[in-house]
Chains A and B, each alone.
Chain A
Amino acid sequence: MKRLMNSHPSFPLKVFLGSIPFIITIIIYMWASDIRLEANPDDKLMPSMSKMSEAIDRIAFQPSKRSGEYLMLTDTLASLERLGIGIFISAIIGLVFGVLNGAIPFVRAKLSPYVTAISLVPPLAILPILFIVFGLGEVSKIMLIVIGVTPFLIRDMQAKTLELPFEQLIKAQTIGANTWQVIVRVILPQIMPRLLASVRLSLGTAWLFLIAAEAIASTEGLGYRIFLVRRYLSMDVILPYVIWIAFLAFLLDWLIRKYSEKRYPWFHTQS
């Protein structure tokens, strides 16, 4: 018999083992929900599965009586748009400043302390400023994501640039590269997969700021909906929405990882 630490489960067994905690959670929920509903059929805190599927049907597959929109679709698209634009802007800024900071000592000396200082400001604390300056529209929500995520990305890209082996930078110079050429042909291509990895890490933070901004001032969006129906204790809508958000987050993460593996095979097979 092998040591426990050396025996690995087969793929089907892995899938089965991985699904056990989920199944247990669902069973416990249904059991607790049954007990509460038996005591009080109007209990709203732990709605039954059928109640939740009714709610999903109403909000996802029936046009809204008031606006004629499919609410869950509208919410999802609105949220993903904000998240996408916010992350995209942050990634571009993070890449440009991170690489320049990492590659050019004179830029680093000028900007690095500033970025560090900025990154210490809690983004939610300046949300009111954003609302005052940019109004309650889309810009302030996107700005919150950008402000929340960009300092991390800049610092991480700077660190990743500095981690590139100095041997490569010297080698590039000995085959005739100037500073700019070292950046575009040696640093940038190697930083791109690392940027994608950092973006995956920062997605969690981005979701946090997105939902916070939507909760405070919005007319559609996943975060807006959750905080809206909270007033009516509509757990039958909130719970499916939370699971849906988690699924979207997982999907985005998975898509970025797959893209990175396809586009940068050398990065993912390096030992």
Chain B
Amino acid sequence: MSFIKADKVSKSYGDNRVLERVSVNVEKGEFITIVGTSGCGKTTFLKLLLGTEKASSGQILLDGKPIPDEPNEDRGIVFQKYSVFPHLTAIENLMIAKELEISPFFGRSFGTTRTSIKEKSLEMLALVGLEQAADRYPHELSGGMQQRLAIAQALMKKPKILLLDEPFGALDPGIRKDMHKLILDIWKKTQVNIFMITHDIQEGFYLGTRLWVFDKTRHDPAAPNAYGATITYDIPVGQSNEEILSEIDESLEPSRKSLDRLEERV
């Protein structure tokens, strides 16, 4: 049985159909990158996995059980920004994960417990290369360092799935390359399932084991929200080549055009 199984998952907001009958299986340890034009359901699908949204019909199974419709420790998340707590230093941002576990009322630790939690957290901080910045607040860190911290924080509870919502979208290209190395490194070490949304097809093509393209298969110029998106390409990365890349790029053209039309109307 598959580790994660989406069964005819649809999601609409009122008349706005976002996802349409998405059915897909994911095995343990896969690293999936998700691309698509804006408004085509990538983020909605991620939210369904995260549990902040509930499917309108169909269901997603994790380990054979329906995925809970609120966030929990099984699924770690890194957003594009605001992922770390601004009022805690880098090391405290990691320690809080363990502290919440051992101290239900105050969520804090003291004395020797604190020391041992701090040691473990320092190891994780070292994994993302931030041991020098342990006592700095997030606003004293660069954008790349903040995202490293957010990734480390998301891994503290050893989640089954790590969800990345355009995690490097706001970073410079050079730093983005370092982050790619980091995330591949972490994936190899932890074997966690990763779902990563990106708007950069190149990025999606060279990172991970599998590429999904979300797109609408039907377009109605008069009612752009009438049809939802589904997975139009599902290809193992590695067997990919330039030809497929340009083919995908072309296939997204109608969606981009309809988006442009929408913007013109606005």
Residues of chain A touching chain B, judged by Cβ–Cβ distance below 8 Å, are 165, 167-168, 170-178, 180-181, 184-186, 189-190, 264-267, 269-271
Residues of chain B touching chain A, judged by Cβ–Cβ distance below 8 Å, are 50, 52, 70-73, 75-77, 79, 81-87, 96-97, 99-101, 104-108, 137-139, 150, 153-154, 156-157, 159
Shortest Cβ distance from A165 into B: residue:
B82
Chain A residue contacts of B77, Cβ below 8 A: 170-171, 174
Chain A residue contacts of B85, Cβ below 8 A: 168, 171-172, 186, 190
9 additional A-B pairs beyond A175-B156, A175-B157, beta carbons within 8 Å, are: A170-B77, A172-B85, A175-B97, A175-B100, A176-B157, A180-B105, A181-B107, A266-B139, A267-B87
Shortest Cβ distance from A173 into B: residue:
B71
Q: Would you call the interface of chain B mostly helix, strand, loop, or mixed? A: loop
Chain B residue contacts of A174, Cβ below 8 A: 50, 71-73, 75-77, 154, 157, 159
Chain B residue contacts of A175, Cβ below 8 A: 73, 76, 96-97, 100, 153-154, 156-157
Shortest Cβ distance from A177 into B: residue:
B100
* Min CB–CB distance A260 → chain B (angstroms): 13
Chain A residue contacts of B86, Cβ below 8 A: 190, 266-267, 270
Q: Which of A168, A170, A177 contacts B50 (CB 8 A)?
A: A170
Chain B residue contacts of A181, Cβ below 8 A: 100, 104, 107
A167-B82 contact in complex given A176-B73, A176-B157, C-beta closer than 8 Å: yes
* Min CB–CB distance B129 → chain A (angstroms): 21
A167-B81 contact in complex given A176-B100, A180-B105, A269-B139, C-beta closer than 8 Å: yes
Chain A residue contacts of B87, Cβ below 8 A: 189-190, 264, 266-267
Give the distance in Å from the alpha carbon of A269 to the alpha carbon of B138 in the complex: 11
18 contacts between A and B (CB under 8 A): A167-B79, A167-B82, A170-B50, A171-B77, A171-B79, A172-B85, A174-B157, A175-B96, A175-B100, A175-B156, A176-B72, A176-B157, A185-B99, A186-B85, A190-B85, A266-B138, A267-B86, A267-B87
Give the distance in Å from the alpha carbon of A70 to the alpha carbon of B10 in the complex: 78
* Min CB–CB distance B137 → chain A (angstroms): 5
Give the distance in Å from the alpha carbon of A162 to the alpha carbon of B81 in the complex: 17
* Min CB–CB distance B182 → chain A (angstroms): 19
Closest 9 CB pairs of A and B: A165-B82, A173-B71, A167-B82, A175-B97, A185-B107, A167-B79, A266-B137, A181-B107, A189-B87
Evaluate contact between B83 and A171: CB separation under 8 angstroms. yes
Evaluate contact between A176 and B101: CB separation under 8 angstroms. yes
Evaluate contact between B81 and A170: CB separation under 8 angstroms. no
Give the distance in Å from the alpha carbon of A84 to the alpha carbon of B81 in the complex: 39
Shortest Cβ distance from A183 into B: residue:
B107
Give the distance in Å from the alpha carbon of A153 to the alpha carbon of B266 in the complex: 39
Chain B residue contacts of A177, Cβ below 8 A: 100, 107
